[in-house]
Amino acid sequence: MTNARPHKPKTGRGVAPKPLRKKPLPAGRPREWYISHNRRLKAMRLAIALMDTGVYVPEKATNRKIRATAARVGIHPPSNTTCRLVRELIRDEMS
């Protein structure tokens, strides 16, 4: 039996990992597709941020709490539609 620890890459405390390189979106799609795509990305970032703060139940994710989280994370305030999508993502994640 060894006391070896599993290898963990050193990122330092308080240092965020490098973001993935962004690829351009495919050309030629209808405008609604791009709007929907960006809305889903924004909702996913907000759902992750909310779950990181301990909000695991959609009923606890009010529009006010979602918008406050967006301000804290540095995302533009989401629309009512995006807030609804955030709650759906949290609901799907918990089922």
pTM confidence score: 0.75
Does pLDDT of 13 surpass 70? no
List, for residues 34-74, the tens digit of each pLDDT value: 999 999 999 999 999 999 999 999 999 999 999 999 999 99
List, as one string, the DSSP characters of the chain: ---PPPP-----TTPPPPPPPP-PPPTT--HHHHHHHHHHHHHHHHHHHHHHTT--SGGG--HHHHHHHHHHHT-PPPPHHHHHHHHHHHHHHH-
